[in-house]
Chains A and B, each alone.
Chain A
């Protein structure tokens, strides 16, 4: 069964890619789609079987490398973690396949597209079912390749090509770190099997190793290197530049790869390696900080973008930041939960945007949209659901809410609980970054909705008039995803992070002490019963208070007893007055995300529905903040000036001086010249005269004998 899940898409890709000429486009599309759907169906069963019944297993398919101590095999590790990923990947993938029937219906290279999609699915499945780092790396590179192919699918479009190259090159940076990490693992542990490595983690704690001439703790350096890989693939801060550009690819690709699956591979990696990260506090802190920065930073950029897909892309980036800081804080369950729900609503948003773009004849600029809700009501409806899910709308304290409500709030509250329990500055930072990012998320998400669907249409009128709802084959997947976006959170809250989580994750994820606090805090929220007195907690609470600089209290927070800070573009906060138990999140924390979300919504309503002139004027006047955000913090320019131009200059230097003159001159060309002349001289020795040959032989004998006599005599 698992073989069918994993290799079905490969078969489909091979058939569609290689036999397309013989079977035609339609057959290729049907075959790939059916195979992926079959895979998805089986995955659902597998998920049930593994996560709830508990049939974990490892299947060995074939030996791969067997070189001395370095052994690795093709195998499948099926535990809850991979089962969750299997469901997400195959489910979203099959929906995207179906959606593409409509979206790509006019493309002449449909079969190739479907082949790539299936190939990607296969690589992703290899990645998530890997049982050792080598296979993980194989899948990792496989999805990178598929991503490159799909971003550059419209290869005649120069921007698509350069975006594909940018994605590939940026990922190389990360992959380099990842590869180094794998090597370091082999060096330290002597194996790259997950089980073998994780079993030794405890023994390796405190072991030092040498890297770049300095001594580090081995586990820290391994975790850090692995995280660099994760940063590249998941578009985290510093290596995020490729993700927005990747939107040059077809929209289904963006939904599948750059929202739901591939970009979450980094999160998956961190969670999969949770035993290592648990033993590496510094690296975990780095993960959390980078995640927090990304969550905040990407959200700020998202506010100022005009391309509908780019907004969603930065939103993805930001949500990945959430997942990472959750994982960095040890909240692996929450991270995976958010990954799971995020897959639904972000795919929904992407596909919905695709539907809008499709309706408007490939118009992506939101400034030329508006008022679309009348012409494409269904799309509007699902986009609305997606936005509600993304912004995490729900009623705190109850179990009513959209998917994002459960997962995002679980992360934010978990972060607070960790901060409260351990006094960790990192957790505090992460908490506040999460809150601010939630505010911004709400703002830009509603901005997208308002700019696209409300107001007057600003684009060419004939497009507006000709706009039509997408065909059922595209709407079907959207509706299914919408259902997921509404209910996925509520349904799976309990197993992922709630009461049932121990029985759910079992061995697949390690929760260390620090994490348990956070998780138990969730319990506290559920049970709302125990109250214990913890000095530690109260101290932390005071710390938090000390850091606050707010001035206005938000009274909607029912149990807030003290002042919190809140500003238009800043964070809102509450102070924790009553001393609840240490394993308990104060109520104001529960309400904070809700409040900031509402604020963001109101802000968007104000700027884009009531006074749409203000942002336009800001955009036109080009104030420094706006241009800073609009130009994505000038990261591209910075990289261009330093790395790209630097590398190019260095390349020129190496090429013109180093390569052409020195290396080629003395190396290949010079050597080739020498070789050529040597060869002709040698063949001139071959005169054909018998006595020359005899003479050479005799000289050789005499010389060898003489040499030996001298040496030994």
Chain B
């Protein structure tokens, strides 16, 4: 138990500091790096509570896909981050104040929850011990939670349609690959035999 506690505090501490650094870092590429660290430590926390599937998912999806995508975007866009930061500094005190108050409130809520947490207090359902994570999720995902699963599918569909609607453009004068045309091509369309006089080239 003591090992777990130590692991928790380390992971939690790193996660929070890394999250802070995401916001505080000057260089956006570094921000993304800090973000990746946050994801990793969060995955570690998931492992600690026995949700290894979620931990893996977090690493694969968020680190492997999302964060990399972020990096691409950040690197490809020429954004003047220094200019953006100025607004940030201007509002820093107000933001910090709000954050502090929010922190205090949450601490208070957490404390009151911990204090009142008796036998009667509701507990999240325990993770089934008999089955592995994947088995447990698989058992309910397509049965009990099929509605939410399908709804999530619809959300993704909307996202896809949205991305296409907002970005896909059919520009004139752009050469595109046309498979049918490519395949249906005849020999004489593609090949022309010419006799070249020596030293003259194709004039």
Contacts and interface: CB of A to CB of B under 8 A. Distances in A.
Contacts of A657: none
Q: Which 6 A-B pairs have the closest CB atoms?
A: A702-B101, A702-B102, A705-B105, A702-B98, A698-B98, A709-B105
Contact of A709 (B87, B91, B94, B109): B109
Nearest to A706: B105
Contacts of A699: 98
A709 B112 CA distance: 11
Interface in B92-112: 94-95, 98, 101-102, 105, 108-109, 112
Contacts of B109: 709
A713 interface: yes
Given A702-B101, A709-B105, A713-B108, 11 more contacts: A695-B91, A695-B95, A695-B98, A698-B98, A699-B98, A702-B105, A705-B102, A705-B105, A706-B101, A706-B105, A709-B109
Nearest to B108: A709
A698 B87 CA distance: 17
A695 B94 contact: yes
Interface in A669-713: 691, 695, 698-699, 702, 705-706, 709, 713
22 contacts: A691-B87, A691-B91, A695-B91, A695-B94, A695-B95, A695-B98, A698-B98, A698-B102, A699-B98, A702-B98, A702-B101, A702-B102, A702-B105, A705-B102, A705-B105, A706-B101, A706-B105, A709-B105, A709-B108, A709-B109, A713-B108, A713-B112
Contacts of B102: 698, 702, 705
Interface residues of A, number: 9
A705 B108 CA distance: 11
Contacts of B94: 695
Contacts of A705: 102, 105
A88 B202 CA distance: 121
Contacts of A702: 98, 101-102, 105
Interface in B14-52: none
A180 B18 CA distance: 78
Contacts of B91: 691, 695
Contacts of A695: 91, 94-95, 98
- Interface of chain B: mostly helix, strand, loop or mixed: helix
A698 B105 CA distance: 13
B181 to A, nearest CB: 46
A511 to B, nearest CB: 81
Interface string B68-104: 0000000000000000000100010011001001100
Contacts of A706: 101, 105
A698 B100 CA distance: 12
Contacts of B105: 702, 705-706, 709
B200 to A, nearest CB: 66
B103 to A, nearest CB: 10
A709 B98 CA distance: 16
B156 to A, nearest CB: 26
Contacts of A713: 108, 112
Contacts of A698: 98, 102
Nearest to B104: A706
A406 B98 CA distance: 95
A706 B109 CA distance: 11
Nearest to A708: B105
A707 to B, nearest CB: 10
A706 B103 CA distance: 11
Interface string B131-175: 000000000000000000000000000000000000000000000
Nearest to B102: A702
Nearest to A712: B112
A709 B105 CA distance: 8
A691 to B, nearest CB: 7
Contacts of B95: 695
A695 B95 CA distance: 8
